[in-house]
Structure formats: C-alpha cells, structure tokens
Amino acid sequence: MKITSDFLVIGSGIAGLSFALKVADNKTVSIITKREIQETSTRYAQGGIATVFSNEDSFESHSKDTMVAGAQLSNREIVDMVVAAGPKAVQDLINFGTDFTRNSSGEYDLTREGGHSFRRILHAADLTGDEIERALVAAVQNHPNITVYEHHCAIDLITEAKTLQRRLPENRCLGAYALDIKNDEVLSFGAQITVLATGGAGKVYQYTCNPDIASGDGVAIAYRAGAAIANMEFMQFHPTTLFHPHAKSFLISEAVRGEGAILKRADGTAFMDKYHKLKDLAPRDIVARAIDNEMKTNGDDCVYLDITHKGEKYIKDRFPHIHKTLLEYGIDMGKQPIPVVPAAHYLCGGIKVDSHGQTEIKNLFAIGEVSCTGLHGANRLASNSLLEGAVFGDRAAQLALKNVADTMPTFPVIKPWDHGNATNSDEEVVVNHNWDEIRLFMWNYVGIVRTDKRLSRALRRINMIQEEITDYYWDFYITSDLLELRNLATVAELIIRCALERKESRGLHYNLDYPETDDIHWKKDTVLRKTF
C-alpha cells in the first residue's frame, strides 16, 4: 500500500509537530509515530524551555552560557541564531495553546537551572513537556490537512539512488517505508519533503531516563541512506535520576537544583564545591562525572539530592508532580533527601544538518534531538532542547515550503516492500538477548568515563552482534522489536566509533587515556558517513 502527501514527518515531539503545523495550511502532511502521538521524549521533559524573557537577561548571556556548557564546540553562529529566535518560538507555542506557569503578578514564572547565569526557564509547573505536547497534539488533531499514523515504525528511507539502483550526483529522498505494527503490514509513504524528528537514543544504555521509544531510529535510518552523522560520542548523562528498585526511569528535574537543592554523600556531606565554582549549578557533564566519582570513591550505590531546607509548602507548590511521584515510592522530598544516580539522557550529536535542518540528502530534513545542528557542541545546556526543537521546527518549515515549489512534481516509481524469502521467527529470544547485551556493555564500556581499551572491546562486541542481527533481519519477517534492535546496534556502533576517533576529553566525552582538552587538533566535529 502506498500513501502520498506533500510532507512526511517521522516523529511527534515538539520539533515534528511544530514543523507540521507550520507547513499544513496549504499542503498535506502525514505524521507517522511508533506509539500514540503523545508518547514522545518531549512529553517527559520536566524542567522547561530556555529563552530570554527578562529585562535583566540578554541574548549575549544566553549565548555565552550555551558556549561554555558546550565546551566551546558549539557553532557560535547557530547558537546566536537559536537564542535570538527563542522568544518568537516560545510565543508560537503559547499561540498554539501552551499554558506556562505565571507568578502572583501574572508574569511568566522564570526559573534557573545548571549552567544558566539568569532565570530564563519558562515552565509549566514541573510537567513542561507534557503541557507543550498536549497543546501541539490538540492543534495537530484539529488541523484538516494533517493525518496521523500511530503505531507505525519507520524502517528505511526511500531514496532516488536506491529506487533507480545507481549512484547519483545528488541523492534525493522520496519518503520512507514503515511497518504498520497493528496490521503487520509494510506501507510506502511517498512525499516531496521528508522530516526526521524521531528523538534520541537513550535506550542504547542500560540506565536511562528516556522513554522506551528512544532507540535512535532516525540516526540509524539516515546513516543507512548515506547522510552524515556527527558528534555521537557526546551522550549526555543526566546527573539526577531516581535511584529506587521499582523506579524504571524517573527523572529528578534540573530545576530542583536550580531552586536550591544540594547534592550530598550518604553521610550528609555536600561535595560539589570540590568540582566546580558553580557547585550544584555546574553544567551537567561536570555534575554527572562528580557523582560518578563520589560513588566509586566511597563505594556508594547513589548520592542524595537535598531540598528539604526550602520547606514542604514551597516544594509541593513548585514540584507537585515530582513530589507526588516520589511519595508513591515512599520518599517525601520535603522531609528527606532523594537518592539519585546519573543516567543516559540526551544525544548531543546526530544527523548533521545546516541552519535550516537540511541534511546532505536532498529533500530530507532532521530536527530536534535526532539532529546535530551545532547548538549543543560537546554538552547541552539545560532546557535548550525544547528551544532547539521549536526553533528548528520553524526554520525547517520555512525552507521546506520553498523547496516544495522547486521539487519535481513526479517521483520515480516507488517499489513496494519486498519481503524476499523471509519467514516467521521462532527465535525471539535472540532479539531480547542482543538488546540486553548491547545496553549492558554500552553502560560499562562507553559510559560516563571511557578508555580506549574499553571502547575497542565494545566495538568488537557490537560488530559481532550486528552480524547476527543482519542475518536475522533478512531471514525473518520484521517486527517493531527487531527494527528497534537493528537501529540500536547501529547507533551503538556510531557512538563507539566517534568516541574512539576523538583523542581528547571534552564536555560529555571523558577518556582517561586523553584527560586534557586539545583545542589545537580536536576543536571540530567528529563526522561519519556510510561507505557503499
């Protein structure tokens, strides 16, 4: 079955939905998403969205904070552009129906997070992402030109080179194949413009605060099609994820430290003053490594985040969702410190794009966490992620609308999906075993602290596992679990290869064999392309 539209958006978070709403008034849009439309990483973002909304603040300050957090690897032109576009992007979200929290004076309540010089984070209590997603989903569902295909898992891009089976001077994206999970059918989605907005890849690690959907699909799909992938070694580990035997991936927002919480050892000793002048408000890479070091040095399973000094009423009012959730686990954050550990959180690398989110493949865009725009550099500044998604959703829409007018109205004939000699599998245990093994060795060998020996060991393992996955992929009918495993393995390989290539420590990439930052040789992106 073939479905055609002017635009195909893969993913339904802030970036993808913002794009769809900006192009849909006079064009048709198909959105495919792996689960329900609202099940995205955006929905789970607690903290907020950073932008200059105060007279005390400035674009220059926000840009400087972003560059410092990114270990000076961020592209200053991109940083300045995103920061300057921030207020309009936030206003667009408000116009779409997002209800940010206001103070008693009726002004937007601005909070502060680690790495920021001023209060510039707009939030909706402590469920900001959920509120943004709610508003955007409602707007999308009410738009007559947008069709949403839930429970559809992208398989691979359809490109002109692949369709015509020959090399072309300029390859062009024609859409994507996707698995209709509920009906067990592969569909062809043809489109003049395709947008990857699939989010991150936190599930490549054993411990993550990402939802289960974050398996790196967009990065893997784009890499297989020939797009450039950059800076995959920079995986951000959020410093404070709840440590509890029954908590799967509950994040304790950066805003808790922003409002005065203090990290302590089990004996109650605060320790962040040893690691950074900003103490508990240091950038995330510093805080995550500090916690990791404290745990290893003292033999502890976790550290503790203490905000009890702010008082119970304040805590309940400012962090109602976190407070309520912690009570369900038997923890009253108003009376006792919260046990926390670092966990994989945000991919700062991804598909390399230009200032409008356009990839090296014609008519293929990538926006949001799946992309490497140059904003984050070697480490993302807190709450710049939702900002990036909104800004690039708008910028990609501007260029995509122009490109539609310049795109040939007819496509080469898109061939239907070919199952070949595939059969039903009776070895699902292979998928589950490989999934668990990848996540375990990525945590142990390619985590917060790395060495070349650990990275080389991980590369050998992922190469062996990929051979098994390839055989399995072509022998049996595809399933959503198999597709995610295939993508997860590809992303793991890209992270490992980028980490091996960078012979320094910078931002989120810390290698004991190269503990210093080397601006002379390595103040540049790490870029990989698939060889055909």
Residue 202: phi and psi, rounded to 5, are: -60, -25
Give CA separation, 54 vs 277, 309, 461, in Å. Answer: 25, 27, 50
Q: Are strands 350-352 and 371-372 parallel, antiparallel or unpaired?
A: parallel
284 carries an active-site annotation: yes
Q: How far apart are CA 27 and CA 11, in angstroms?
A: 18
Q: How far apart are CA 159 and CA 294, in angstroms?
A: 49
Q: How far apart are CA 91 and CA 109, in angstroms?
A: 15
3-state secondary structure 462-531: HHHHHHHHHHHHHHECCCHHHHHHHHHHHHHHHHHHHHHHCCCCECCECECCECCCCHHHHCCCCEECCC
- Single-letter amino acid code for the residue at 151: H
Residue 115: phi and psi, rounded to 5, are: 90, -10
In DSSP notation, 186-253 reads: EEEEEEEEEEE-----GGGSSSBSS-TT-S-HHHHHHHHHT--EE-TT-EEEEEEEE--TT-SS-B--
Q: Exactly one of 43, 284, 318, 395 is catalytic; which is it?
A: 284
Least Cα distance to 233 among 491, 489, 440 occurs for 491
Q: Which residue has the tokens 């992208």?
A: 154
For the chain, the farthest-separated pair of C-alpha atoms sits apart, in whole angstroms, at: 69
Least Cα distance to 256 among 461, 56, 111 occurs for 111
CB 387 within 8 A of CB 132: no
Residue 500 corresponds to which tokens in the numbers above? 């091996």
What is residue 511's DSSP assignment? B
Active site residues: 284
